[in-house]
Amino acid sequence: MNKHELDWLGLKGRVCAVSGAASGIGAQLATQLAGVGASVALLDSNAVGCEAVAQSLRAQGARALAVACDISSESDTLDAAQKVQAQLGECFALINNAGMLRPGSLDSVSLLDWNRVLSVNLTGYLLTARAFKPQLQATRGAVVHVASISGNYPQSNSGAYSAAKAGVLLLSRQMATEWGPLGVRSNAICPGMIRTALSAKFYEEPGFEARRAEVTASRRIGEPADIADVALFLASPRSAYVNGAEIAVDGGMSSMLMDMVPRPGYNQTS
């Protein structure tokens, strides 16, 4: 990037916090935020992985702080917000990204797994946002929630995950309604099929990637950078009038429903 491109988003020198930053989309978010000059706080329950990403960013000249944090713990989120403010400064953007998946149908998912998924994927987003709210209000900043297309389109055997992500979408709009007048924006991203460490094993199966790509309009699987690009825009002053929005980043998969319905003489395979 040249200097103009580096400063275009207006995030240079601003403090941005990312949860779930030890790997996958979260690590990519932290990397791209550092790449545009932001000071980055990396939050994750995986302290070792989180510190490793932070060290790699610092080695490239970025200001990066790793904070061990279980976002389902109110005390952890409050401590994290305090550390970020003390060591980096007041936070301008929070990207709620941490998440977990416990497979199971509504009939079979254990109450323990159900509660754990909701405590991280939904309640954790609220707790983290509340912990950082005073800083975000002071900086007139933004919250970006990484939800999922599963929040709009249920998937068999992922009942707890889908319900939690649907909750995130309403939480984001509720936050925009309540905090918008205070100067804090809230928006959500709905990723589709994204290649991460959690899904990497799937793509080792011959033909699997091609079958998945075929049900997207873009004919490819998404990468973490595809999500990070949109998240950086929503976190930045460039999206100052975007509030309460939900953006699907799924390569057009959610527009392919009718092409998935068998119609003799109409369906195409390429």
Exposed, middle or buried: residue 71 (CB in 10 Å: 0-12, 13-18, 19+)?
A: buried
List the catalytic residues. 161
Q: In this structure, what token pair is assigned to residue 91? A: 């936070």
* Structural contact between residues 83 and 17, judged by C-beta atoms closer than 8 angstroms: no
State the alpha helices, DSSP H only, in the chain: 3-7, 24-35, 47-59, 74-87, 111-118, 124-139, 159-179, 208-214, 224-235, 257-260
Say how far apart CA 262 and CA 189 lie, in whole Å.
30
| Geometric angle at alpha carbon 126, from 231 and 113, rounded to 5° | 100
How far apart, in whole angstroms, are the C-alpha atoms of residue 99 and residue 112? 16
Question: Could you give the C-alpha distances from 96 to 60, 71, 122, 169, 177, in angstroms and in order?
Answer: 24, 9, 10, 12, 18
DSSP designation for 93: E
Q: Which residues contact 57 (CB under 8 A, 6 or more apart)?
A: 30, 31, 34, 40, 64
